[in-house]
Chain A
C-alpha cells in the first residue's frame, strides 16, 4: 500500500487556501444529519467538538476524567506560539514554519507545518475573543516572550498557566454547545475500541468507568484527540491517566502508527527523589530565559556537593561550567530541548551531577536576581518558584534549582494525511495523538498551537469534505461488527480479572518504564535496543500470566483501568524499540550513540532516512510491517542543525 499524504500541489503559501476552496461542503441543513464522535476533550478535542457543533453537526465527546476541563492540556505552562509579529522583531509565517521544520530536524512535512504557522495567528484571535486572559503590557496590548530555542518573541502566555487558560476557553466553547444540545458529553468514559465497517470507521466501544457498562456508539466519523503516550516510561511529566489505549486500539484496527520512537525529553524537570515517585514535575522552560545552567568544572567538586560538604554558593565563578553558554555561544541556555537534555546527560555521565543521585544540574537565578531584583523575578516566575519549593523544600531565590531531563512529549503518533485522516477512512487523529507537525523534535510552545490549529481550524474543513460523500444513514448499534467488538472488549475485561496473579499493575508499569528509559530514552544503541525488545516480550508474557487485578468489572475499578492501559503500553513499547532500531541515524529526540558528529551532535542520514516511518499492525506477537512516506523538501535546505 502506498501512503498518500494528500498534500495539495502548488506553492507552499497557497496550498491551504487552495485546499479549503477545493474541499467539498456539506449543506448547512444536512449537517444535522451527521453524527461525529470526538474522543478526548483536551485542546484538540474540545476545540474540534465545539467548532464542529457550531457548524451544525451532532457531536458526542468522550473523556476519562470526571470533567472535560481536566484534560491533560490543562497542565501546559509556558505558552503558545503564533506568527503575529506584534513585537516587530522580524517574525513571519515563513519564519515560524522554518523554525519548526528545522527544530524538528527535517523530519516533518513542509505542507503541514506551513499550514500550522499560517493558522497560528487565528488561534490567538479566537482565544482572546473567548476571554482567555493572556499576559498584557501596560499599554493594554498582548505581551510576548521568546521561548524554547526561538530567536524572536512570538510566544503568548498566561502566567505559568497557559494550557489551563486555553483549555478553559475551549471548554467554555464546548459547554456552550452542550447547552445548545449539539454536543453530548460522556465524562468518566473510556474508549476501548474503534468499530470499522466496510473499511470505514463507524463508531467506538466504550466502558463507563463508574458502572463498568460496555457500550456501542455509532457515528459517521471518529476523531481521536487522546493525547500522547509518554507514560510508557512510567515516570513522565504527563498526567497519571495519560495513555495510548485509544490510539493503540485504532492501530490494531488498521491505523498506521508513525515514528513511535520520537519522544521528547524535557530538560527542565524536578529530579527524581526516590522509588515512591509517581510522576515528574516540569519546571517551565521559560525559566531558561533567565536561569543559567551549570555544573562544577570538576568531579571532585561535584562529589562534595553530592555529599553536602559544600553548598552551591561555595563554588567560585571560575569553578563553574556554564556548559551550554560555552558550547553554544549564540543560543546559550536557550538551545532546543533535545540539545539541552543530552548535554545535561553528558555532564552527569561524567560524574558532575549535583544531587544525591548524581542526576541533576543547576538552574541558577542568582545573576537574574542581581540584575533585575527579586521582585521582578518573582513577577515572572513566582508560581513556578513556589511549586518548586513545595515539592523539594528548597528556596530557589536563595539556592539554585536542581533540574534533570524527563519524558515530556511524544512526537510520534497515528499516521495522518494532510486532512488529519488516519489510514482508516473516517478515522481522524488530532493533537498530540497524531504524528504530524513536529518531526523528530517539537519546539516549545508548539503543541498547544498544533492542538488548537487541528481542532479549531483544520478538522472542521476536512471532516466535512469526507462526510459530503457519505450517506446519512448510521450503522445500527446492533450491527455484527459492533457486537463483535463489544464481545472482544468484554472478553478482555474478564481475562484481566481472572488472571489473579501476584504482582500489581504498577509493578509491571514501573518495570516497563525502566526498560524504556534505560534503552530507548535520551540515547539509544542497537545492542541495548535488541536486549530491551527481549525484556519487553518476557515482561508482557509475565503480565498476562501473573498480574493481579482486584474487584469486579461492574464498578469503579482503578486497577482494572490501569491494567488495560499498561497492557497497551507493553505492546507499544515493543514497537518503539523496533522503530528506534530500524532508524540508523540520529535526529532530534532520537539519538543513536552510533550516529553522532565528532562534537556529539545528532548525525542525520538524509539520503536513507528522510521519511516518515508508518507501521502496520500484523497480529499479536508478529513484527509489524514498515511503510515509508518519503519527505519532500522544496522550500528549505536540509542542513546540519547548528545552535553554536
Chain B
C-alpha cells in the first residue's frame, strides 16, 4: 500500500516542533506499525535525512517502551500496543498522523520520544512491599484465594506505557497509579503498608504534575492491557481511609 504520514518532528526539548509530511510506498499488510516506520527511516537515511526517533524495544507488547499517538489515539485504532499494531488495520491511500504522548509530566525528548521517568519516581515513592532479600517465609505459607490472586494479577499486568495519560484530557495518571496500588493492596503481603503506600504514591503523582481524574474512562478504553477503572475506585478508597486514619492519630 501507499500511505501519507504526518509525523511530529522536534530536534530537542527546547526547539519548537512541527509536522512533516512523508509519502511512503510498498508497505505490506503483514508489517507491524513500527516496521513501517523502519522502512520510512531506511528511506530517510538513504536520502541523508535524520531518521524519525521513536521508543521501542521488545516489539512484543510487553515492555511498555513503544508509544505514539496515532490518528488521535494512543497506540492507534486497536486496544493494543503500537508494536503489536499491524498495517492490515490501514488501507491503501490512508493518511496517518503520528504524534508523541502529550503531557506536562512526559516532556518531549526528541521527535516521538518522551521522558516517562515520572512513572519510575511514582513507583519509588511506595510501589513495593518492604521486604529485603532472604529471611522470608515459604511461598506456600501465604495461601491466597485464586479469585483474589487473579484480580491482583489483572492489575499487575500494567506495562507502564503511559497511554492512559496520553488518552486523558487532563493527563491524569490515575489508572497507572491505581493499578500498582490495587495489585499490592489485594494481596496479604501488600496489605500491611497499603494506606501509607496510597498516600505516598498519590502525593508523588501530584508532585509530578499529572492532572486530576476526569471520570470519563478514556484511560481504560485505550489501555493496551485493559486495566479496569475499578482500580481507581479502590485507590480512592485506600487513599481516603489513609487520610482519615492519619487525621485520627
Binding site for B on A (CB under 8 A): 47, 50-51, 54, 65-70, 72, 74-75, 84, 86, 122, 124-131, 133-142, 158-159, 161, 163-165, 168, 171-173, 175-176, 178-179, 185, 187, 210, 239-241, 273-274, 276-279, 281-282, 387, 390-391, 393, 456-457, 460, 504, 506, 548, 550-551, 555-556, 558-559
B140 close to A141 (CB less than 8 A): yes
Contact with B84, one of A51, A68, A130, A390 (Cβ below 8 angstroms): A390
B146 close to A137 (CB less than 8 A): yes
Give 30 pairs: A residue, B residue, CB < 8 Å, sorted on A. Answer: A66-B65, A67-B64, A67-B120, A126-B136, A133-B156, A133-B187, A134-B139, A135-B149, A136-B146, A137-B146, A140-B143, A158-B156, A165-B153, A172-B128, A176-B124, A178-B124, A179-B124, A185-B120, A187-B120, A210-B109, A274-B31, A281-B60, A387-B61, A393-B88, A457-B133, A504-B42, A550-B45, A550-B48, A551-B50, A555-B110
In the complex, whether B82 has a CB less than 8 A from a CB of chain A is no
Residues of chain B within 8 A of A558, CB atoms compared:
51, 53
B116 close to A66 (CB less than 8 A): yes
In the complex, whether B58 has a CB less than 8 A from a CB of chain A is yes
Minimum CB–CB distance from B67 to chain A (whole Å) comes to 10
A70 close to B51 (CB less than 8 A): no
Minimum CB–CB distance from B77 to chain A (whole Å) comes to 13
A70 close to B64 (CB less than 8 A): yes
Minimum CB–CB distance from A171 to chain B (whole Å) comes to 7
In the complex, whether B196 has a CB less than 8 A from a CB of chain A is no
Minimum CB–CB distance from B40 to chain A (whole Å) comes to 12
Residues of chain B within 8 A of A168, CB atoms compared:
156
Residues of chain A within 8 A of B149, CB atoms compared:
133-136, 140
B153 close to A140 (CB less than 8 A): no
Minimum CB–CB distance from B163 to chain A (whole Å) comes to 15
Residues of chain B within 8 A of A176, CB atoms compared:
124, 128, 130
B38 close to A69 (CB less than 8 A): no
In the complex, whether B198 has a CB less than 8 A from a CB of chain A is no
Instruction: Provide the bound-state CA to CA distance between A68 and B128, in Å.
Output: 15
Residues of chain A within 8 A of B62, CB atoms compared:
74-75, 161, 163-164
Contact with B144, one of A140, A161, A555 (Cβ below 8 angstroms): A140
B63 close to A75 (CB less than 8 A): yes
Give the 5 A-B residue pairs with the shortest CB-CB distance, closest first.
A140-B143, A172-B128, A129-B136, A128-B139, A51-B133
A129 close to B129 (CB less than 8 A): yes
Residues of chain A within 8 A of B94, CB atoms compared:
none
Minimum CB–CB distance from B70 to chain A (whole Å) comes to 16
In the complex, whether B206 has a CB less than 8 A from a CB of chain A is no
Instruction: Provide the bound-state CA to CA distance between A142 and B139, in Å.
Output: 8
Instruction: Provide the bound-state CA to CA distance between A504 and B124, in Å.
Output: 40
Which residue of chain A lies nearest to B87 when distances are taken between CB atoms in the complex? A276
Instruction: Provide the bound-state CA to CA distance between A506 and B128, in Å.
Output: 40
Which residue of chain B lies nearest to A390 when distances are taken between CB atoms in the complex? B84
Instruction: Provide the bound-state CA to CA distance between A274 and B84, in Å.
Output: 16
Instruction: Provide the bound-state CA to CA distance between A158 and B157, in Å.
Output: 10
Instruction: Provide the bound-state CA to CA distance between A141 and B49, in Å.
Output: 57
B120 close to A68 (CB less than 8 A): yes
In the complex, whether B209 has a CB less than 8 A from a CB of chain A is no
Residues of chain B within 8 A of A130, CB atoms compared:
128-129, 131, 189
In the complex, whether B177 has a CB less than 8 A from a CB of chain A is no
Residues of chain A within 8 A of B60, CB atoms compared:
75, 239, 281-282, 387
Residues of chain A within 8 A of B32, CB atoms compared:
278, 391
Residues of chain B within 8 A of A134, CB atoms compared:
139, 149
In the complex, whether B165 has a CB less than 8 A from a CB of chain A is no
In the complex, whether B69 has a CB less than 8 A from a CB of chain A is no
B189 close to A131 (CB less than 8 A): yes
Residues of chain B within 8 A of A274, CB atoms compared:
28, 30-31
Instruction: Provide the bound-state CA to CA distance between A135 and B156, in Å.
Output: 13
Instruction: Provide the bound-state CA to CA distance between A133 and B145, in Å.
Output: 11
Minimum CB–CB distance from A42 to chain B (whole Å) comes to 11
Residues of chain A within 8 A of B88, CB atoms compared:
393
Instruction: Provide the bound-state CA to CA distance between A551 and B52, in Å.
Output: 12
Which residue of chain B lies nearest to A76 when distances are taken between CB atoms in the complex? B62
A65 close to B45 (CB less than 8 A): no
B57 close to A126 (CB less than 8 A): no
Which residue of chain B lies nearest to A460 when distances are taken between CB atoms in the complex? B133
Residues of chain B within 8 A of A457, CB atoms compared:
133-134
Q: Which of B146-182 touch A at CB < 8 Å?
A: 146, 149, 152-153, 156-157, 159-160
B48 close to A277 (CB less than 8 A): no
Residues of chain B within 8 A of A159, CB atoms compared:
153
A239 close to B115 (CB less than 8 A): no
Instruction: Provide the bound-state CA to CA distance between A67 and B86, in Å.
Output: 26
